Chains A and B, each alone.
Chain A
């Protein structure tokens, strides 16, 4: 099982790489769609802003390649947000692999923004393979100022003044808003589940 870790040139790959290494999972950093061969599934990590990140994805041809591919894909944080159709961050078109749009996350009741810290997961879809073996209410680490409002694709939420999509899935495409690579034991389990799952 080989994970292709997509390098857009603007994401911080180090923490995801180290998390895969700690979990004993094989991966290959791939910087162009021409390198996708030989990989069984893909992770699209992301930090930074949606506009520049989408621009670099398009420049490298990732938008067409990912749309055409059917292997499992996991987007992390900004990587998850780019799976949707549009993002209000920079008002950009995204990959469109998951229906819906990313919106600006309103400040919580106490006026604090962005959403930063450990928040409890609430599972909506008990059959979601990425959440197998993860206890209800487990805390995972979030850092984001934009969000996916919960919808039909939402498999788990957390609460930040309102429900926030924490994990989404549309067929073979999944995304987590939190950082599994920085979410302790629960996060490591999500990555292991991704490597082992059939979708």
Chain B
């Protein structure tokens, strides 16, 4: 049986791992390869590297650090941030990334999802979605790497997820922005709604603060994986202990 995945997310800026609260006030939390190695050793099932400044500044991630991470890791990892073309994606995949995630560029040009799926297969293509409640509906945000450039998208989150999957995304990471960095628990309601429209693997993001949050998002929203950053970076939760506890609570995890 398939195990639920625990996925540390490393927000990368200028070659370092950073973490902010609600997309602001980023603080340095360490070296990319050091943290990647540590999380793999602790039992992380997968890693996501988000170049948070890439979309906002109109540049793309540097394959050099992708390659450095790929050399070290014996678990899968996904690279996100500013991938605007098939060539951008190819560079990251050929540097050793297992998946690439598109967010802002897909909002600007949804057909990039189709192109990436046709070229590399859906299994490589992750749709990243930043969402929050606006005027009574969950809606998609753009340019979340830089607060000065954040604009409100008009798409409804659930419509966008369904469209992305239809276009060939093989996985969806739903980042619930209202919860991001505040450690108050995942947005189970929104993730349940997303689960209902998402036929591919779905990863919860935003809000993890205690081990109980992971249990409830797996049990209630039936997500395939749970992504978190600050609780892991700051040592609030140790991944090995989290997975052992989840296993004891009846959640299927990789020991």
Interface centre among A19, A107, A116, A120, by most chain B C-beta atoms within 10 angstroms, is A116
Instruction: Give bound CA distance, A198 to B231, whole Å.
Output: 47
Inter-subunit contact B199/A117 (CB<8 Å): no
Is B16 positioned at the interface, with any CB of A under 8 Å from its CB?
no
Is B35 positioned at the interface, with any CB of A under 8 Å from its CB?
no
Inter-subunit contact B224/A116 (CB<8 Å): yes
Partner of A119, one of B1, B73, B93, B118: B1
Given contacts A118-B254, A144-B123, contact A14 B67 (CB under 8 A): yes
Partner of B124, one of A21, A47, A181, A187: A47
Inter-subunit contact B75/A141 (CB<8 Å): yes
Given contacts A48-B121, A117-B224, A118-B5, contact A12 B93 (CB under 8 A): yes
Inter-subunit contact A49/B121 (CB<8 Å): yes
- Chain B residues lying within 8 Å of A110, measured Cβ to Cβ, are 222
Inter-subunit contact B71/A112 (CB<8 Å): no
Main secondary structure of the interface of A (DSSP, over half): mixed
Binds A, one of B94-102, B149-157, B205-213: B94-102
Is A188 positioned at the interface, with any CB of B under 8 Å from its CB?
yes
Given contacts A47-B121, A47-B124, A181-B74, contact A117 B94 (CB under 8 A): no
- Chain A residues lying within 8 Å of B11, measured Cβ to Cβ, are none
Is B244 positioned at the interface, with any CB of A under 8 Å from its CB?
no
Q: Shortest distance in angstroms between B116's beta carbon and chain A's nearest beta carbon?
A: 11
- Per the 8 Å Cβ criterion, residues 100-120 of B in contact with A are 118-120
- Chain B residues lying within 8 Å of A114, measured Cβ to Cβ, are 122-123, 170, 200-201
Instruction: Give bound CA distance, A14 to B92, whole Å.
Output: 10
Instruction: Give bound CA distance, A181 to B96, whole Å.
Output: 11
Inter-subunit contact B199/A12 (CB<8 Å): no
Interface 1/0s, chain B 222-255, versus A by CB < 8 A? 1011000000000000000000000000000011
- Chain B residues lying within 8 Å of A188, measured Cβ to Cβ, are 74
Inter-subunit contact A139/B255 (CB<8 Å): yes
Is B70 positioned at the interface, with any CB of A under 8 Å from its CB?
yes
Instruction: Give bound CA distance, A12 to B67, whole Å.
Output: 12
Inter-subunit contact B2/A117 (CB<8 Å): yes
Given contacts A12-B96, A47-B121, contact A141 B70 (CB under 8 A): no
Residues of B within 8 A of A (CB): 1-3, 5, 40, 45, 67, 70-71, 73-76, 93-96, 98, 118-124, 170-171, 199-201, 222, 224-225, 254-255
What are 14 A-B residue pairs whose CB atoms fall within 8 Å in the complex?
Answer: A12-B93, A13-B94, A14-B94, A22-B71, A47-B93, A48-B120, A110-B222, A112-B199, A117-B201, A118-B45, A143-B170, A179-B76, A182-B98, A183-B74
